[in-house]
Amino acid sequence: MLKPTDDQQFFPDHDQEQEEKNKRPVFIRILAFFTLLAFIGLVFLTTWPDLTLPSLDFLSRSKELSKDLPVNQLKQYVVQINVVSMPGRVIAGQKSGTGFNISPDGTIVTNRHVLSDAVSITVTFSGGKTYPAKSYKTSPDLDLALIYLNAEGLPAATVNTEKKAKVGDKVFIIGNPLGIGNVIMEGAISAFIRVSGCPAPVFVIDAPVHPGNSGSPVFDEDKKVVGVVFGSIHQKDDPDHSKQQGVAIPAGEILEFINGIS
């Protein structure tokens, strides 16, 4: 079993979520927005020849992958989670992440850190339907959580109980990185490692993840869930994180958590 090497660094928890704290009056935010637009326009005019957007390459690849109907149909199981949180503050903050449904009546798998300090949770499916959370439970040991909805007839993903993920397996990650819904990324499992604070081995995926990918399901070629993204790892000599890889909790740990609640 491997550990992150000396030239690698693991980023768990909030590094994979988006958080917005609404602490400024509306008129100030509006003024700042238009000022930013003007500044961006000036920068584009003066630096456009040298401008590159490598972080957006995954969007064009996602568009190509969406043409594969069986892969595209996996989007129906993936949800965006919006959380209002109050971590010891008077003013609430907002954050979002990803999850996936595994039950027709609404059982959403996501990460524990996505729901930290939550006072309100809503779940939105790819079709646009939004549900408030009825309740939720978190794992004391792993970065896992379940959100329960009051619904019926929801599309539900299948967790692979027949075979374990292994190095070399081709996989697909579907999530909401950078606030963009239902982005598909492909890659392969490159290693199993142990990280600090996680009692079970986790696997590394040779595919980029971004803020908002927390809770993204990892599907195998049989279109079954084999893991859930909860962090990233990248080389320490890669300061802009352009080569970071996803890290996921295996499906067996998800099932053990679910069975422990039942």
| Marked catalytic residue, from 85, 96, 113, 232 | 113
Q: Measuring CA to CA, which residue among 147, 132, 117 is closest to residue 19?
A: 117
**Burial environment of residue 88 by CB neighbours within 10 A (0 to 12, 13 to 18, 19 or more):** exposed
Query: For residue 258, what is the enclosing H or E element?
Result: helix 251-261
| Marked catalytic residue, from 139, 214, 216, 232 | 214
Residues linked to residue 20 through DSSP beta bridges, in sequence order: 94
Beta strands in the chain (DSSP E): 8-11, 18-21, 78-85, 93-101, 107-110, 118-125, 130-132, 135-138, 145-148, 170-175, 183-193, 202-205, 217-219, 225-235, 245-250
| Residue type (1 letter), 249 | I
Q: Is 241 a catalytic residue?
A: no
In whole angstroms, what is the distance from residue 25 CA to residue 171 CA?
A: 44
Residues 112 and 138: beta-carbon distance below 8 Å: yes
Q: Encoding tokens for residue 258?
A: 């679910």
Residue carrying structure tokens 């954050």:
95
| Marked catalytic residue, from 96, 143, 216, 232 | 143
Q: Is 143 a catalytic residue?
A: yes
Residues 93 and 159: beta-carbon distance below 8 Å: no
Which residues carry out catalysis? 113, 143, 214
